[in-house]
Amino acid sequence: MKLLCGKEVIYFLKCVTGYLSEKSQILMKRLVGKMATIRDVAKLAGVSVATVSRVLNNRGYVHQDTRKKVEEAILSLDYKPNAVARSLFKKTSKSVGFIIPDITNPFFPQLVRSVEMVMKRAGYTILLFNSDEILENELKSIDLMVSKYVDGFLVVSNTLKKEHISELPLPVVCLDRVIGEEIPSVSVDNYAGARKAVRHLLERGCRNIAHIRGPAKVRTAEERLRGYRDEIRANGLKPYIVPGNYDLNTAMENALELFEKHPEIDGVFAGNDVMAVGAMKAASKLGMPIPGRLKIIGFDGIEWGTAVTPELTTMEQPISELGKKAGELLLELINGGKLRTSHYVFEAKLIVREST
Amino acid sequence: MKLLCGKEVIYFLKCVTGYLSEKSQILMKRLVGKMATIRDVAKLAGVSVATVSRVLNNRGYVHQDTRKKVEEAILSLDYKPNAVARSLFKKTSKSVGFIIPDITNPFFPQLVRSVEMVMKRAGYTILLFNSDEILENELKSIDLMVSKYVDGFLVVSNTLKKEHISELPLPVVCLDRVIGEEIPSVSVDNYAGARKAVRHLLERGCRNIAHIRGPAKVRTAEERLRGYRDEIRANGLKPYIVPGNYDLNTAMENALELFEKHPEIDGVFAGNDVMAVGAMKAASKLGMPIPGRLKIIGFDGIEWGTAVTPELTTMEQPISELGKKAGELLLELINGGKLRTSHYVFEAKLIVREST
DNA sequence: GTGAAAGCGCTAACAG
DNA sequence: CTGTTAGCGCTTTCAC
């Protein structure tokens, strides 16, 4: 048999099918690439589908001998339960969605990884959606997820509002940014982190500290800006604020301009690591030694920080922990648990490297 | 009604339900958060489910007036077709899997992004799996995908062999690495790219060129090594090869050792950009100016290359194009098309920046 | 043009 | 302990 190819098998089947026992016929189905169903297993094992279902799910009593017969049938048919059929019945799919702005932003891969890790361990699959922070994309993704019976989802977004989420028939947890009181979230204390960053620069002797801020309307960026401003004020210093977009080039250009206009600047707190690297490049273009002439601190703790020379001092976010905690919350929610705390706030941690 | 909250509505419903027309009852269902089904729509519109299905799928003849009634019902119930039920029947899920080694490796986010882009446009969702190149993980993910009726999948892997794939009941395309003649693939010509890289160093005047190689058994790494070796030989030079693991630290340490032992080295071709950055750091520790005393070229074209100072010269892979092409191939396969060419090989492109 | 009915593959009562 | 059966929500013949 093994030597026949697809078409031949089919032909052969047609010829002999009438003469074969039912069991043999089932076995043949496999050879032509058809997936075995629970019914095939039941027939082959000589039991009912209910019994097969029982051994599959380890539920209810099944006699040892029966179980064995079923297991053998499963093996010989290489039967795999059909997840879609199961989903349809159970209204659950063992999968969760994850909406992020852009996987290409170096902050997210680690987050995705840690989320996937805890979800996979619990038997869940991840559907990934890049939204580019465009509301319409997010909404579409959500509809899709609902119709696919995902069991819940994680989202990092600034555009999404609570009214988009609160009526949904599935659990949601927000990551990195909080959307509303009612929606569980995991984030870091950006404000405190920012103040700590500025304080570090102060301790290193900086007096004229600039801030390259993240994009307007982005929560994290606003909070870091506020932290910077407050700490600067509390020390009676003058704030220097330039816009940035959480990306390298804008930050570099704006930093360049800043350094030229304000040569007194001796410290920079960048809204994230990517922009900090931009500032480093600007400084290097102007021949300003780091940390000698200028000290720079970033925010995030992404790998880039250790790739550059000098290595970047930064306020590290516990990215993996964020993802892990968010995943755990979602799992609890999925399993019908009530959350004791529904807003988790982590601390950013000062990692002193070479740029300060 | 709108002022009642969940529990109250339910109570209210219980009380009056007997007195309501069937249509009103259907409308109420929504208020308590139940998803409308095609049956609800049919009832509300006063037609059969078959008709609703017809307007949903734009198939067969439906009278204008009927269509209108149905559409109104859909709107007023905020009905969304259930993707799972549809999948069960159609044996297709409008989703594809993507198995990658590790999203945390800066090469993959861009790839994922570009794949998602073409797939989303065609209405497909991405299931993401990080395998860590562990065969067992890959196999598990594949089983999962099959049972979820994914319509096909993309995979980048060295561990997976053709026998794991060729019998699968769904289309597969390999990315970045080719697994076998029968399995469509999209990759780049690592060998030629490597030779080109070395030639560039040669043209820049290097005579003692070392190679930091990628991990053993990884196809791409082997090919780049071979390219290096052949080009060096062809020029009658002496090869210097040190191991690396496609990661920063190993590369840095090994480069450090290499530079100390062989001060004559004046050029480095690293197996990927991450290791090239490692080499840069090593050089910087030893105070070897780049590109003055030592020239370095990487492979990949990831963003890191522009973040470091000096910016990294590299053999750029057209990552987005790889993803796009792979996605397109998969779509063709899914739609039952035959591929004219099933192995696409892209060229790596020399991007001269500051490190050479 | 439209409806009735038979599944897709699985689970969970409910009987024995 | 095991089998029968009625769906989950949708699509698709096949009649009318």
**CA torsion B87→B89→B91→B95, rounded to 10°?**
-10
Read off the pLDDT of residues B286-312 as tens digits, 9 standing for 90 and up.
Answer: 999 999 999 999 999 999 999 999 999
Per CB-CB distance under 8 Å, the chain B contacts of A108 are 109
What residue in A sits closest to B101 (Cα-Cα)?
A: A113
Read off the pLDDT of residues B211-268 as tens digits, 9 standing for 90 and up.
Answer: 999 999 999 999 999 999 999 999 999 999 999 999 999 999 999 999 999 999 999 9
Distance from CA of A304 to the nearest CA of B (A): 7
Q: Round to a whole number and report the distance in Å from the CA of A93 to the C1' of D9.
A: 15
Q: In this complex, do B84 and A108 lie within 8 Å of one another by their Cβ atoms?
A: no
In DSSP terms, B222 is beta-bridged to: none
Average pLDDT rounded to a whole number, residues B332-337: 90
Return the sign of the alpha-carbon dihedral for residues A14, A15, A19, A24.
negative
User: Considering CB atoms only, which of B82, B88, B116 is closest to A147?
Assistant: B82
Judged against a pLDDT cut of 70, whether residue B277 lies above it is answered with yes
Query: How far, rounded to the nearest angstrom, does the alpha carbon of residue A65 sit from its chain's CA centroid?
Result: 45
Q: Round to a whole number and report the distance in Å from the CA of B21 to the C1' of C14.
A: 32
Q: Would you place residue B339 in the very low, low, confident or very high pLDDT band (cuts 50, 70, 90)? A: confident
Check if residue A63 sits with its Cβ under 7 angstroms from strand C: no
Check if residue A146 sits with its Cβ under 7 angstroms from strand D: no
Q: What are phi and psi of B266, to 5 degrees?
A: -130, 5
Average pLDDT rounded to a whole number, residues A78-93: 95
Read off the pLDDT of residues A181-191 as tens digits, 9 standing for 90 and up.
Answer: 999 999 999 99
Check if residue B84 sits with its Cβ under 7 angstroms from strand C: no
Give the contacts of B5 (CB within 8 A, at least 6 positions apart): none
Identify the pLDDT of residue B20: 54
Of B112, B103, B130, B105, whose CA–CA distance to B273 is shortest? B105
Read off the pLDDT of residues B176-221 as tens digits, 9 standing for 90 and up.
Answer: 999 988 999 999 999 999 999 999 999 999 999 999 999 999 999 9
Residue recorded with tokens 């922990």? A321
Q: Would you place residue A214 in the very low, low, confident or very high pLDDT band (cuts 50, 70, 90)? A: very high
Q: Which nt sits closest to A38, CA to C1'?
A: C9
Identify the pLDDT of residue A6: 44
Read off the pLDDT of residues B134-180 as tens digits, 9 standing for 90 and up.
Answer: 999 999 999 999 999 999 999 999 999 999 998 898 999 999 999 98
Average pLDDT rounded to a whole number, residues A221-242: 97
Per CB-CB distance under 8 Å, the chain B contacts of A103 are 103, 109, 112-113
What residue in A sits closest to B85 (Cα-Cα)?
A: A88
Check if residue A88 sits with its Cβ under 7 angstroms from strand D: yes
Check if residue B62 sits with its Cβ under 7 angstroms from strand C: yes
**Better-scored residue on pLDDT, A337 or B130:** B130
C-beta of residue B167 within 8 angstroms of C-beta of residue B148: no
Say how far apart CA A210 and CA A263 lie, in whole Å: 11
Distance from CA of B333 to the nearest CA of A (A): 17
Which positions of chain D lie under 7 Å from any protein Cβ? 1-5, 7-13
C-beta of residue B97 within 8 angstroms of C-beta of residue B154: yes
Average pLDDT rounded to a whole number, residues A196-224: 97
User: Which residue's alpha carbon is at the shortest distance from the C1' of C7?
Assistant: B89
Identify the pLDDT of residue B111: 97
Q: In this complex, do B88 and A83 lie within 8 Å of one another by their Cβ atoms?
A: no
**Ranges assigned E (strand) in chain A:** 95-100, 125-130, 153-155, 172-175, 185-188, 209-212, 240-242, 267-270, 295-300, 313-316, 343-346, 349-351
Identify the pLDDT of residue B340: 85
C-beta of residue A323 within 8 angstroms of C-beta of residue A286: no
Of B235, B161, B159, whose CA–CA distance to B199 is shortest? B235
Distance from CA of B61 to the nearest CA of A (A): 26
In DSSP terms, A300 is beta-bridged to: A316
**Better-scored residue on pLDDT, A211 or A6:** A211
Identify the pLDDT of residue B332: 95
Check if residue B53 sits with its Cβ under 7 angstroms from strand D: yes
Rg (C-alpha) for chain B, rounded Å, is: 29
Judged against a pLDDT cut of 80, whether residue B13 lies above it is answered with no
Angle, CA A327 vertex, CA A321 and CA A330 arms, to 5°: 140
Q: Round to a whole number and report the distance in Å from the CA of B43 to the C1' of D15.
A: 22
Identify the pLDDT of residue B309: 92
Q: In this complex, do A284 and B309 lie within 8 Å of one another by their Cβ atoms?
A: yes
Q: Would you place residue A321 in the very low, low, confident or very high pLDDT band (cuts 50, 70, 90)? A: very high
